Amino acid sequence: MGKIMAGNAVIDVIRARRSIRDFQDRQIEREQLLMLLEAAICAPSGSNSQSWLFTAIQNKEALQRLNQLVKEGFQRWTPDDDYPPKQTIGERAKNANFNFYHHAPALIIASNRANYENAMADCSLALENIFLTAQSLGLGSCYINQLRWLRDDGPLRDCLFELGIPKEHVICSSAAVGYAGHTPPPPARRANTIHIISPGDLDVEIFDAFHEKEF
């Protein structure tokens, strides 16, 4: 695989991206934020609906208030599936040092129309654009689930409304962004979760060689 994709700038960024959960106490530049948001709105959306909203929060007091409401919200919340982090979040949120956005200086919240089938898919595509652009700018980023989990929590939604997110929007997910507090380790080898239904024997041979390469 390495030889097939050598020298491709997009693939290089994809390979280098890591989820960062340790950020410097250093705000990102205005131009960087605008580039991240432009990347988000350039993502594809169902029927080109572009019904999403991206709310970027850099105000430290607003972020701290959100964190407190998230901590309180998880004491009222019941997990809706068996995803392990959901099962433990209530106890973890009781910790005085709990911070759902990992103390990142910027948080970008993606929301969308609640009655729109592609709301989550569209916002997820946009967030991936944010993560890859952040990597290309020398920034770290992390996909944040917690606001999605608490999307129906009353006090939290009231706060988000005050920050400009319409009450008729569903909270899809968010991105924590900032300068990484450490250099992430090299990636582990990716699991072989690819099937290719080839049109002929020659392509099957190429497929076998493709999987012999290291990521």
Q: How many Cβ atoms sit within 10 Å of the Cβ of residue 153?
A: 20
Pairing of the two strands 169-178 and 106-113: antiparallel
Neighbours of 193 (CB within 10 A): 5
Distance CA 62, CA 118 (A): 29
Non-local (6+) Cβ contacts of 108 within 8 A are: 36, 37, 40, 54, 55, 56, 57, 127, 130, 174, 175, 177
Domains in the chain, number: 1
Kindly state whether residue 174 falls inside one of the protein's structural domains.
Answer: yes
Residue 212 lies in a domain: no
User: Residue 156 domain-assigned?
Assistant: yes
Find the mean pLDDT for residues 42-52: 97
Domain range spanning residue 40?
A: 16-183
Would you state the pLDDT for residue 206? 44
Residue 130's pLDDT is 98
Asked whether the CA dihedral 74, 108, 135, 210 is positive or negative, the reply is positive
Residue 60 binned pLDDT confidence (cut-offs 50, 70, 90): very high
Mean pLDDT value across the chain: 91
Give residue-wise pLDDT tens across range 125-173: 999 999 999 999 999 999 999 999 999 999 999 999 999 999 999 999 9
Query: Does position 194 have pLDDT exceeding 90, yes or no?
Result: no
Closest CA to 70 of 5, 9, 155, 8: 155
Establish if 150 belongs to a structural domain.
yes
Q: pLDDT higher for 188 or 45?
A: 45
Is residue 103 situated within a structural domain? yes
- Whether residue 199 is contained in a domain is answered as no
Question: What global pTM score does this model have?
Answer: 0.89
pLDDT attached to residue 215:
36
176: nearest Cα among 52, 23, 32:
23
pLDDT tens, position by position, 88-138: 999 999 999 999 999 999 999 999 999 999 999 999 999 999 999 999 999
Question: What CATH number corresponds to the domain at position 93?
Answer: 3.40.109.10
Give the residue-averaged pLDDT of 33-49. 97
Q: Rounded CA gap, 51 and 36, in Å?
A: 18
